[in-house]
Structure 1
Amino acid sequence: MSNKDSKNYFSSDFKLGILGGGQLGKMLLYETRKFDIYTKVLEASEDVPSKIACDEFILGDLMDFDAVYNFGKQVDVLTIEIENINLDALEKLEDEGVKVYPPSKTLRTIQNKARQKLFYLDNNLPTAEFSRFAYASEIKDSVDNGGLAFPFVWKAAQFGYDGQGVKVVRNFSDLDDLPKGECIAEKMIPFKNELAVIVVRNPSGDVVTYPVVEMEFHPEANQVEYVICPARINEEVAQKATEIALQVSEKMQHIGILAVEMFQTHDDKILINEVAPRPHNSGHYSIEASYTNQFEQHIRAMLDLPLGSTASKVAGIMVNLVGAEGYSGDVVYENMEAILKLEGVTPHIYGKKQTRPFRKMGHVTIVNKDIAVARRIAQQVKETIKVISK
């Protein structure tokens, strides 16, 4: 549907369906409320962040064909905030005229990491060398036969998230407790930076990109600690990263947001790590720092509205708030007052009542005209606020 059809999405009987009820859905719902777009959310548990923010909440398993299909029949446009969805149900809904964004074809490529990596190879897109295994037990034989060398990165083909389903394998004993199923073993890339570019595409084919961001990772948890916008890289590298992200977007023909995570090697090559076809951790800074944040942009894209400016008003850094090690149970945010005293600091608390080690519980944005000052304040935030339990 083009905006020439002047479909009335606002304060109308139009219904947007969201599969998944986590924090990404909750932040998407800030924007639907801003526009007064009617929303329905499907999720398997009542105890999720999105429940408070949608117009209608439906309980159902996202991997269950009937639950997803029946939900989709009640909405005009269907989107996701998590990739692990029953794709057969989405395909049937598309066949019956429901608009599903991103399309099931895009999700099928992305949902399985082995398939995603093969897609890069087939389309001559730069990515780290890898081997694909139907069973984790085959990895040992491959090492014995010289097909694979330590160290490498093991990734489960499906259902990995937030550092789960990824492990650096340095020796045989690291193979002992790996899950059994389909996986990939990826060559360890010594890299200088991890970068990300968010690309947005609407059905009319308009495409915009956000500035390249830089991600600093927690060494043990394999989770992003800081997202820095703009990335502290030269113009040439930024250009190359943006071009590669646009190529991925073009080949995948997604609709909505596509976050492309990349490695910058020591000789400034850009290699694609993986992609996410939805609002993404690397774009949270945009809520405070950009003219159009990633969540509003995702809605504009899906509804085929004009895409907003992706420029930053100010430098932004995002700090992930994750559960502290050694704490599980009812969450307590310690030293919140101390970080609220700092200039340019905005906390976002997701609404998960229970904390556990490394669980994503919220994030904090730090904005400043000077990226170096923002980074310093971000460090202070990281060292001050603690996500613990009662």
Structure 2
Amino acid sequence: MAKQISDLKLGILGGGQLGRMIIQEAINYNVTTLVLDPDADAPCKHICNHFTTGSISDYDSVYNFGKKADIITIEIEKVNIEALEQLEKEGKLVFPQARVIRLIQDKGIQKQFFKENDIPTAPFQLVSNKRELVNPNFPFPYMLKQRKDGYDGKGVMKINNIADIDNAFDSPSLIEELVDFEKEVAIIVARNSNGEMKTFPMVEMEFNAEANLVEFLISPSTYPDDLQHKAEEIAKNVALALNITGILAVEMFITKNGDILVNELAPRPHNSGHQTIEGNFVSQFEQHLRAIYNLPLGDTRSRSNAVMINLLGEKGHEGVAVYEGLEKIMAIEGVYVHLYGKKYTKPFRKMGHVTIVDQNREQAIEKANLVKDTLKVIS
């Protein structure tokens, strides 16, 4: 008899908010969850079945943890790949596959993958150190991105002129032609081991310029259907070229002349899909479980217009988190609050998100602005 979903233990590398929301869906299927995280008080600690404190970048920690699970997944890419490769050799199911995580960990290799597979992306150049930034293949200004360890806006900077190079990253990086884009959008695509594939509707993103984090997300997009269909096909082509199992977030730019350029990939549930919990028939977290357990994929259609706001720690506040204005925004119809279980706040730390759903798009945006102005994470 084939094993049921509840018979296969799920190991999650990383115990932050993404792992927490995966577990919240896994509970509905009686899945036993194991979590490895270096933080003894990580958000997942109190809702998983087994929590281990340890480094997700250390070979022995990841290998020994993985031996206890049947399926292993991630909530962050910065994990020990060699341990995952060994676990795969020993028959453990690792999704996304170790080779996919290895590719995503290096933005330079990721960009070369785009080029080799005819995936539209901005022109780029790989550099070893900041001395190579003086004579780029394209004019100032341009974007500089560290090849490894960048996340949540870290490891990215704009180089306006030669004077900026003095403060530039002095490590293997890539430089990228500055894209004159109209909007940053994202498509989340899921693929199971049978090859079934489904995309969520395209979403539009607004960024916090200071923190370089997604602050405001609107779903579904109002771009023309043909452009949205083109973006969905690009996302599917990326998933096929990777031969990935699981969820893949494909972040893209819509240029001012209507072109679509792929910016970056995330092979896991992603910030650009949080609104799917209330806004779609299936959430990105349940869809990820369906994909890695090789189950039929769920209905990705939108139930309603949905706007998602990241709750970031306020500037000038560091300490035990206080959610100012929480009761006020909970009185607004269609507002759903998700706090991440983090005891301490600091400037721009992701402390939670709020989703606002409304059949009227403009009303959803109006409510979202009210929530943004009212709810503050202070100490």
Per the TM superposition, whether the score is higher than 0.5 is yes
**Deviation per CA, 1:86-124, whole angstroms, max 9, x where unpaired?**
111111111111000000111111110000000000111
Q: Which residue of the partner structure matches residue 135 of structure 1?
A: 129
Cα distance, 1:173 vs. partner? 3.6
Q: Which residue of the partner structure matches residue 168 of structure 2?
A: 178
1:341 aligns with 2:331: yes
Q: Which residue of the partner structure matches residue 236 of structure 1?
A: 226
- State the secondary structure of the residue aligned to 1:50: coil
Percent identical residues: 47
1:289 to 274, 279, 302: 279
Q: Which residue of the partner structure matches residue 80 of structure 1?
A: 74
- Structure 2 vs 1, CA of residues 174 and 354 (structure 1 numbering), >3 Å: closer, same or farther? farther
Cα distance, 1:386 vs. partner? 0.8
Q: Which amino acid aligns with 1:48?
A: A
2:180 to 190, 208, 231: 190
1:8 to 4, 8, 21: 4
Q: Which residue of the partner structure matches residue 140 of structure 2?
A: 150
Q: How many residues align?
A: 379
Q: Which stretch of structure 1 is more off in the superposition, 221-230 or 178-187?
A: 178-187
Q: Which residue of the partner structure matches residue 23 of structure 2?
A: 29
Output the CA distance in 1 between the equivalents of 2:90 and 2:71: 12
Q: Which residue of the partner structure matches residue 372 of structure 2?
A: 382
**Deviation per CA, 1:252-306, whole angstroms, max 9, x where unpaired?**
1111100000000111100000010000000000001111100011001100011
- State the secondary structure of the residue aligned to 1:296: helix
- State the secondary structure of the residue aligned to 1:117: helix
Please list, as runs of the form range in 1=range in 2, the aligned pairs for 1:340-379 lying within 5 A after superposition: 340-379=330-369
1:319 to 286, 309, 317: 309
Cα distance, 1:167 vs. partner? 1.1
**C-alpha RMSD of matched pairs (Å):** 1.1
1:219 to 191, 203, 209: 209
- State the secondary structure of the residue aligned to 2:5: coil
Output the CA distance in 1 between the equivalents of 2:18 and 2:165: 33
Output the CA distance in 2 between the equivalents of 1:134 and 1:332: 44
Q: Which residue of the partner structure matches residue 297 of structure 2?
A: 307
- Structure 2 vs 1, CA of residues 126 and 342 (structure 1 numbering), >3 Å: closer, same or farther? same
Output the CA distance in 2 between the equivalents of 1:374 and 1:9: 37
Output the CA distance in 1 between the equivalents of 2:163 and 2:310: 31
**Deviation per CA, 1:56-104, whole angstroms, max 9, x where unpaired?**
0011111111111111111110000000011111111111110000001
Q: Which stretch of structure 1 is more off in the superposition, 103-112 or 173-182?
A: 173-182
Output the CA distance in 2 between the equivalents of 1:301 and 1:251: 17
Output the CA distance in 2 between the equivalents of 1:374 and 1:353: 29
Output the CA distance in 2 between the equivalents of 1:189 and 1:18: 36
Output the CA distance in 1 between the equivalents of 2:172 and 2:310: 30
2:263 to 254, 273, 280: 273
Q: Which amino acid aligns with 2:216?
A: Y
Cα distance, 1:176 vs. partner? 2.8
Cα distance, 1:148 vs. partner? 4.0
Q: Which residue of the partner structure matches residue 52 of structure 2?
A: 58
- State the secondary structure of the residue aligned to 1:224: strand
Please list, as runs of the form range in 1=range in 2, the aligned pairs for 1:199-218 lying within 5 A after superposition: 199-218=189-208
Unaligned runs of 5+ in 2: none
Q: Which stretch of structure 1 is more off in the superposition, 103-112 or 166-175?
A: 166-175
Output the CA distance in 2 between the equivalents of 1:42 and 1:137: 39
Q: Which residue of the partner structure matches residue 248 of structure 2?
A: 258
Q: Which amino acid aligns with 1:222?
A: N
Cα distance, 1:8 vs. partner? 1.9
**Deviation per CA, 1:215-252, whole angstroms, max 9, x where unpaired?**
11122221111111111211111111111111111101
1:121 to 115, 119, 125: 115
Q: Which amino acid aligns with 2:221?
A: A
